[in-house]
Homo-oligomer: A and B are copies of this chain.
């Protein structure tokens, strides 16, 4: 059966995963962040089937993560570049990289983040922009937002703390 669509679910996480939660979309975008723009370069670097790559690129262009631009007319050649929407995925990739370096690199991080100007190592972390405090499990709760339906507002009449089991063993 077709994968169930999450686009209508009233949750920003679900909607984002609906667009990106498949095997290859995020890998394609990762390479796009690294500067890859041409079909064959994606194909070679990812060792992905060209049919799959065609479908993924098309979907990513439709969804507005990439733009397809002709950069040469004769012969016709196109390239795929990140749009502002695509560039806005940077925090997601930093989170993926930090996690992978911490948990999935037993022999040391294969790559690390550095400041492009100074070359100093960077440690990406998520904070609250207003207070500057780092956000860990137990520090963030979700509540209904301005776009919430009446049902969601009711379901979330009490904010839900994310990862609360860390501190509160049992809410009894």
Contacts and interface: CB of A to CB of B under 8 A. Distances in A.
A120 B102 CA distance: 31
A130 to B, nearest CB: 6
A71 to B, nearest CB: 10
7 contacts: A4-B23, A12-B98, A82-B163, A109-B146, A109-B147, A114-B142, A123-B130
A125 B127 contact: yes
Interface string A102-128: 111101111111111001101111111
Interface of A: 3-4, 6, 10-17, 19, 21-23, 26-27, 30, 33-35, 47-48, 81-82, 85, 87-105, 107-116, 119-120, 122-130, 132, 134-149, 152, 156, 159-166, 171
Nearest to A100: B12
A39 to B, nearest CB: 17
